[in-house]
Amino acid sequence: MSSIERAFETQLRNIQTKTGKTLEQLYAILRQSGLGKHGELRDMLKRDLGMGHGDANALVHDYLDSLGQGAAAGTGGSPGDVLDTIYAGAKAPLRPIHDKLMAAIAKFGDFEVAPKKGYVSLRRKKQFAMIGPASHGRLEVGLNLKGLAATERLLEMPPGGMCQYKVYLTEAKEVDKELIGWIRRAYATAG
């Protein structure tokens, strides 16, 4: 099981603990709502069960995937399958860096892992990081946080982009205390 799948499973277990309901009970609530669109189901969970955005979003993804209607259905499978697609071919050597990074981030606490076509978005109330292959055999880590001085490693991005900073990695050993500290700070401000 990949680190992204482990993080997702942990999030689902935490949702059950927080709500005091099993996945089957939560799925029954979603079925009985009569709603069919992802956003409607997510908003209902937030409103009626007091769930946070990330947890409600993750639960709806899992529910729709169980029906064969979710994002993973359109990409051919589970979050791990999506990662297999993102890190295929020449990008495959970047996967161990991604996995090491995700293992470190998973220790922070609850967050949503949302695989996209070419990267993975990490969210609490809002996106705090994105991780994916970049050009020239590098892994790109985008960070949403403010107030840091740019360095040779922590590159400040122009205003209006998806992230305020980016860090590029070419080796797993670059997943170090400094990088994890920046990501932890972004995580803290997103929630």
Q: Where are the domains of the chain?
A: 3-75, 87-189
CA distance 38 to 104: 30
**1-47 pLDDT, tens digit each:** 666 777 788 889 999 999 999 998 999 899 888 888 888 899 999 99
Contact by Cβ (8 Å): 146, 159: no
Mean pLDDT of 38-62: 89
Contact by Cβ (8 Å): 139, 132: yes
**What token pair was written down for 165?**
């900073």
Higher pLDDT, 69 or 25: 25
Mean pLDDT of 101-122: 87
CA distances, 12 to each of 8, 85, 139, 157, 161 (Å): 6, 24, 28, 34, 31
Contact by Cβ (8 Å): 12, 44: no
Contact by Cβ (8 Å): 171, 97: yes
Mean pLDDT of 68-92: 65
Q: What is the pLDDT of residue 70?
A: 54
**Residue 45: other Cβ atoms inside 10 A:** 25
CA distances, 70 to each of 6, 37, 113, 132, 133 (Å): 19, 10, 14, 21, 24
pLDDT band at residue 112 using 50, 70 and 90 as cut-offs: confident
Q: What is the pLDDT of residue 75?
A: 38
With residue 188 as reference, give the H or E element that holds it: helix 177-189
**133-173 pLDDT, tens digit each:** 998 899 999 999 998 999 999 999 988 788 999 999 999 99
